[in-house]
Amino acid sequence: MPTAWPERDDNELLSLIQNGSSQAFSTLVERHTQRFYRLAYRYLQSREAAEDVVQDAFIKLWENPALWQPEKNSKFTTWFYRIVVNLCLDSRKRKSAAPLDDGMQLIDEREPMDETMIRAQEQKMLEKEIAALPERQRTALNLCFDEGLTNQEAAEIMGLNLKALQSLIMRAKTTLKARLRSIL
């Protein structure tokens, strides 16, 4: 009895995609779209931009499945995260002139702010400072604080050893603490 599509592992699906299987591609897309979208969103802070990046990455894989070389890459997700990160960085460079979504409303200090509003404001300030970090520190933060990724996997995605990754995280957090000290 043939294995059901959702039960096939990523390597098997990729092998089938290399043979032109659109069903295998569909299964892979459905399995991983959300996780790569989350990462892209961390970078781009825009649903539309993040969806475009994820779509571009998967279409790139479909169009040229020979890009995946199992003998060189241990895990599909590690490899694909790199593709998504690079596309996010390209996207940011192209749109570098555009300001971050600054939907923060002007606060009227005469009105009491409830907890939700305070938290939303803190999050916006945090995102703004993360976006201003050097590229590698930002990447390290985005990967390490994404659910489902260990620090080891994040290091592998960035092509670093664990110590180097931890150093980047430490520097990123030091910078953030300094810039956000008034609200931390």
Positions touching other proteins (CB under 8 A) are 20, 22, 25-26, 29-30, 33-34, 37-38, 41-42, 47, 50-51, 54-55, 58-59, 62-66, 120, 122-123, 126-127, 141, 145, 173, 176-177, 180-181, 184
Q: Residue 19 burial (CB < 10 Å; 0-12/13-18/19+)?
A: exposed
Residue 33 or 151: the one with the smaller Cβ distance to other proteins is 33
Count of residues making up the chain: 184
> Within 67-114, where are the H helices?
76-94
Question: CA 164, CA 120: separation in Å to the nearest integer?
Answer: 32
Least distance to other proteins, CB of residue 124, Å: 9
Least distance to other proteins, CB of residue 63, Å: 5
Least distance to other proteins, CB of residue 112, Å: 22
Listed residue (13, 112, 113) closest to 58, CA to CA: 13
Residue 110 or 150: the one with the smaller Cβ distance to other proteins is 150
